[in-house]
């Protein structure tokens, strides 16, 4: 019997707010331990949480970006548990009335399009961080109370690669939307992986096994590459899987049992009595919806259709938004956007890196790159000369036509002048001329190269080829 994997992901993302979710402490990574704390996020008795409005806005904005509906009534709940890094002994979260629900993420996978449905994206708060030293342990509460969004997917993923691709697509969306910087190194994105297996064709899901607290997407992929075959081997050997929580050992490359269903927590959820339900008005929602941006996939498709770019070029622009914005600005007047894209991606980007120039300080004026392309396309300069003109444009900000004029770089298309050069080259290279007449095509390229050299790269290469051939054949 063949088995297939079923995967659902719970992705936790820190929201990009200035302050924490229920107090005014800074939401900031890397501050000295316990310096961004106050009675509220330390869970001292008698304090009251006050919701950070930007946290609410980013939650709803995420809902829009993930095609979710936004219920008109949402509320907060207490999830109770005792753990040293959770100073209140409960986490404020959204249990049965989340702020967003029923969405989806479309992404490119395995040469086609895939869709993963989003169950919900609800707002909660991060906990502190435990540190274990040689003789003692410590807790840093700087992270406690940082707004955290939990994005729960339906079990629509079927392989480790698909899970990995989905996570990257989700991350790109969140970065584009300004929801989170998604810096994995700083723990801004963490993931619980739920995975089961079932015989191909069976409708019911197998026993759900949850791998907790993954902090890298490649770790998720590796954990699934271990866990899926493990589960299949168990059922193929006649064993039975039951619901459990496992931990990923990144060094050992294995998952190991943390707790079985019997040991599962009972969180005793109840409505948070210190916070009002969240009932956004139409005007408030409208304001948030104005922050919706074009998503990476839509941008890629638009760059391919509107500018005729091949997929890799469009992807380059998707991954570099400032460069893409620059391209769109300069290409507004271009007849040949594809060629302009080549200049931006290949030449401009290299120059920026080489000279350490920020994009904002580029001297080339918006219409100048299309003009340079037009000079090449119109046969005014060769593409080789265009490289020199580009270097000059980058260095001085001068217009390409002015540079061509000043330096006398215009391509020579005067047949008389080219004929003379060809005669000279043929006379100086009788052996190659002989070779060509004897049928060695490569000899023509050599002669052509000599003519170009003699013209200092300015002769129209097409004309040179034609004239040489005619002269050699006559």
Q: Is 147 in the site for ligand ADP (CB under 6 A)?
A: no
Distant-in-sequence, close-in-space partners of 356: CB < 8 Å, separation ≥ 6: none
Q: Which stretch binds ligand ADP (CB under 6 A): 108-116, 147-155, 226-234, 459-467?
A: 147-155
Q: Which stretch binds ligand ADP (CB under 6 A): 135-143, 188-196, 229-237, 305-313?
A: 188-196
Residue 225: enclosing H or E segment and its boundaries? helix 217-236
Residue nearest to ligand ADP (CB): 8
- Which residue's CB is nearer to ligand ADP, number 142 or number 153? 153
Q: Of ligand ADP, Zn ion, none, which one sits near residue 66, judging by CB under 5 to 8 A according to partner kind?
A: none
| Residues 431-460 as x/- pattern, contact with ligand ADP by CB under 6 A | ------------------------------
Residue 321 half-sphere exposure toward CB, CA atoms < 13 A: 12
- Which residue's CB is nearer to ligand ADP, number 6 or number 58? 6
Q: Which stretch binds ligand ADP (CB under 6 A): 19-27, 191-199, 234-242, 347-355?
A: 191-199
What is the C-alpha separation between 143 and 235, in angstroms, rounded? 41
Q: How far is the CB of 193 from ligand ADP (least distance, A)?
A: 9
- Which residue's CB is nearer to ligand ADP, number 27 or number 93? 93
Q: Is 19 in the site for ligand ADP (CB under 6 A)?
A: no
Cα torsion angle, 362, 368, 373, 379, sign: negative
Q: Is 23 in the site for Zn ion (CB under 5 A)?
A: yes
Report which of 8, 121, 11, 103 is spatially closest to residue 56, judged by C-alpha positions: 121
Structure tokens at 412: 């020579």
Q: How far is the CB of 183 from Zn ion (least distance, A)?
A: 22
Which of 97, 102, 129, 208 contacts ligand ADP by CB under 6 A?
208
Beta bridge partners of 80: 90
Structure tokens at 359: 């994009």
Q: Of Zn ion, ligand ADP, none, which one sits near residue 194, judging by CB under 5 to 8 A according to partner kind?
A: ligand ADP
Q: Of ligand ADP, Zn ion, none, which one sits near residue 435, judging by CB under 5 to 8 A according to partner kind?
A: none
Residue 306 CA, chain-centre distance (Å), reads 21
Which of 26, 31, 38, 362 contacts Zn ion by CB under 5 A?
38
Q: Is 386 in the site for Zn ion (CB under 5 A)?
A: no
Q: Is 205 in the site for ligand ADP (CB under 6 A)?
A: yes
Question: In the block, which residue shows the tokens 């444009």?
Answer: 393
Cα torsion angle, 303, 309, 311, 312, sign: negative
Measured in residues, the chain has a length of 474
DSSP class of residue 110 equals: T
What is the C-alpha separation between 213 and 134, in angstroms, rounded? 24
Q: Is 4 in the site for ligand ADP (CB under 6 A)?
A: no
Q: Which stretch binds ligand ADP (CB under 6 A): 59-67, 142-150, 193-201, 465-473?
A: 193-201
Q: Is 103 in the site for ligand ADP (CB under 6 A)?
A: no
Q: Is 26 in the site for Zn ion (CB under 5 A)?
A: no
Q: Is 142 in the site for ligand ADP (CB under 6 A)?
A: no
Residue 151 half-sphere exposure toward CB, CA atoms < 13 A: 33
Report which of 377, 463, 376 is spatially closest to residue 414, judged by C-alpha positions: 463
Q: Is 412 in the site for Zn ion (CB under 5 A)?
A: no
Contacts with ligand ADP: how many residues (CB under 6 A)?
A: 15
Q: Is 231 helix (H, G, I), strand (E, B) or coil?
A: helix
Max CA distance (Å), the chain: 102
Q: Is 154 in the site for ligand ADP (CB under 6 A)?
A: yes
What is the C-alpha separation between 289 and 449, in angstroms, rounded? 60
Contacts with Zn ion: how many residues (CB under 5 A)?
A: 5
Q: Which stretch binds ligand ADP (CB under 6 A): 5-13, 70-78, 289-297, 403-411?
A: 5-13
Cα distance from N-terminal residue to C-terminal residue, the chain? 75
Q: How far is the CB of 231 from Zn ion (least distance, A)?
A: 43
The bridge status of strand 209-214 relative to strand 244-249 is: parallel
DSSP class of residue 334 equals: -
Structure tokens at 308: 């005729």
The residues binding ligand ADP (CB under 6 A) are: 6-10, 152-155, 194-196, 205-206, 208
Q: Give me the residues that bind Zn ion (CB under 5 A), please.
A: 23, 25, 38, 40-41
């Amino acid at each position: 019997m063949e088995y297939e994997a079923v995967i659902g992901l719970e992705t936790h993302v820190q929201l990009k707010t200035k302050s924490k979710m229920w107090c005014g402490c800074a939401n900031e990574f890397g501050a000295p331990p316990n310096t961004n704390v106050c009675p509220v996020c330390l869970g001292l008795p008698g304090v009251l949480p006050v919701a950070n409005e930007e946290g609410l806005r980013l939650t709803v904005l995420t809902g829009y970006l993930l095609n979710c509906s936004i219920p008109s009534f949402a509320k907060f709940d207490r999830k109770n548990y005792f753990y040293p890094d959770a100073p209140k002994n409960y986490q404020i979260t959204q249990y049965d009335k989340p702020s967003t629900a029923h969405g989806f993420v479309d992404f490119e996978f395995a040469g086609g399009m895939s869709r993963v449905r989003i169950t919900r994206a609800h707002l909660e708060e991060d906990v502190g961080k435990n540190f274990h030293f040689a003789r003692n342990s410590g807790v840093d509460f700087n992270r406690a109370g940082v707004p955290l969004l939990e994005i729960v997917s339906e079990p629509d993923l079927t392989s480790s690669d698909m899970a990995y691709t989905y996570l990257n697509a989700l991350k790109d969306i969140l970065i584009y939307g300004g929801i989170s910087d998604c810096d994995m190194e700083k723990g801004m994105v963490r993931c619980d992986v739920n995975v089961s297996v079932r015989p191909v064709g069976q409708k019911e899901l197998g026993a759900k096994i949850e791998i907790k607290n993954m902090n890298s997407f490649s770790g998720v992929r590796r954990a699934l590459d271990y866990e899926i075959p493990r589960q299949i081997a168990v059922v193929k050997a006649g064993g039975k899987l039951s619901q459990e929580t496992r931990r990923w050992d990144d060094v050992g490359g294995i998952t190991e049992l943390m707790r079985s269903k019997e040991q599962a927590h009972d969180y005793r959820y109840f409505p948070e009595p210190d916070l009002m339900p969240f009932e956004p008005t139409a005007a408030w929602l409208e304001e948030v919806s104005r922050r919706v941006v074009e998503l990476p996939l839509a941008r890629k498709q638009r760059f391919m259709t509107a500018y005729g770019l091949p997929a890799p070029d469009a992807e380059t622009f998707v991954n570099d938004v400032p460069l893409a914005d620059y391209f769109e600005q300069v290409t507004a007047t271009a007849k040949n956007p594809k060629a302009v894209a080549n200049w931006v991606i290949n030449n401009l980007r290299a120059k920026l890196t080489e000279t350490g120039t920020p994009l904002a300080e580029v001297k080339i004026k918006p219409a100048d790159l299309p003009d340079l392309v037009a000079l090449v396309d119109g046969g005014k300069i060769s593409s080789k000369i265009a490289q020199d003109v580009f270097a000059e444009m980058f260095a001085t900000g001068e217009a390409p036509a002015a540079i061509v004029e000043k330096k006398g770089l215009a391509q020579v298309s005067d047949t008389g002048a080219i004929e003379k050069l060809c005669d000279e080259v043929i006379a100086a290279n009788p052996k190659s001329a002989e070779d060509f007449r004897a049928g060695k095509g490569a000899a023509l390229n050599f002669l052509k190269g000599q003519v170009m050299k003699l013209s200092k790269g300015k002769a129209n290469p097409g004309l040179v080829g034609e004239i040489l051939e005619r002269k050699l054949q006559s």
